[in-house]
């Protein structure tokens, strides 16, 4: 089976088998979207209202901002894969609990394992926390690092502020745009090391 089909199969199983309690209040599972051959996997926090209604990640205001930044480095949604640490919308968009993150972890691991990207980009503190517990996003943003994470082996990471946090905050917005602009060079560097 090719990668694309395998990823589709995984995402279908996610809908049928995920044990996350959020499933009871959500309309749709938001598994992820993009290329099964992506070099970069972007990982957000959890779906919001629009994402829940449509079953697609990052389709609201934060998603538009993300699209702008992707465009600025000559990337599109078709080149990357985008998903979240939590696959269902938490009621009223509250923060996901550590248990909810753990319940969805096997699906995120499965997606990363299949896509096998060169670079993982956690967006914001909730995503970062799952890969680097205790690390502050205000300190980690804009930094790349290689890290061993149980279930994923040793991989390259690049932390960014969450687009929703930066959307209406002038200085965070500028910082995120600046950090984002370094992605292509970082990817080239990683490719050269391979």
Which residues form the interface with ligand URA (CB under 6 A)? 44-48, 51, 57-58, 62, 84, 164
Computed on alpha carbons and rounded to an integer, the radius of gyration of the chain in Å comes to 15
- Which CB, 34 or 57, lies closer to ligand URA? 57
Which residue, 176 or 190, is less far from ligand URA as judged by CB? 176
* Least Cβ distance, residue 164 to ligand URA (angstroms): 5
SS3 98: helix
Closest distance to ligand URA from the beta carbon of 56 (Å): 8
Dihedrals phi, psi of 76, to nearest 5 degrees: -130, 175
Shortest reach from residue 59's CB to ligand URA, in Å:
7
- In the bound complex, what is the minimum distance in angstroms from residue 120's beta carbon to ligand URA? 15
Determine how many CB atoms are found less than 10 A away from the CB of residue 107: 24
For ligand URA, give the closer residue by CB, 66 or 115.
Answer: 66
Q: Give buried/exposed letters for 12-51 (b at 16+ CB in 10 A, else e).
A: eebeeebebebeeebebbbbbbbbbebbbbbbbbbbbeeb
Under a CB-based contact definition with an 8 Å cutoff, are residues 83 and 61 in contact?
no
Between residues 125 and 155, which has the closer beta carbon with respect to ligand URA?
Answer: 125
């Amino acid at each position: 089976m090719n990668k694309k089909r395998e990823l589709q199969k995984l995402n279908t199983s996610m809908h049928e088998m995920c044990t996350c309690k959020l499933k009871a209040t959500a309309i749709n599972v938001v598994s992820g979207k993009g290329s099964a051959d992506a070099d970069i996997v972007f990982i957000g926090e959890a779906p919001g209202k629009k994402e829940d209604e449509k079953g697609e990640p990052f389709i609201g205001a934060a998603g538009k901002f993300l699209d702008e930044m992707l465009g600025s480095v000559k990337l599109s949604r078709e080149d990357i894969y985008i998903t979240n640490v939590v696959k269902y919308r938490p009621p009223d968009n509250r923060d996901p609990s550590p248990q909810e993150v753990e319940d969805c972890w096997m699906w995120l691991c499965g997606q990363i394992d299949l896509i096998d990207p060169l670079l993982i980009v956690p967006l914001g503190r909730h995503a970062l926390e799952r890969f680097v517990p205790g690390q502050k996003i205000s300190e980690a943003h804009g930094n790349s690092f290689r890290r061993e994470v149980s279930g994923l082996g040793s991989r390259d990471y690049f932390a960014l502020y969450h687009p929703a946090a930066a959307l209406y905050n002038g200085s965070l917005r500028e910082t995120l745009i600046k950090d984002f602009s370094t992605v292509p060079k970082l990817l080239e560097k990683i490719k050269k090391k391979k």
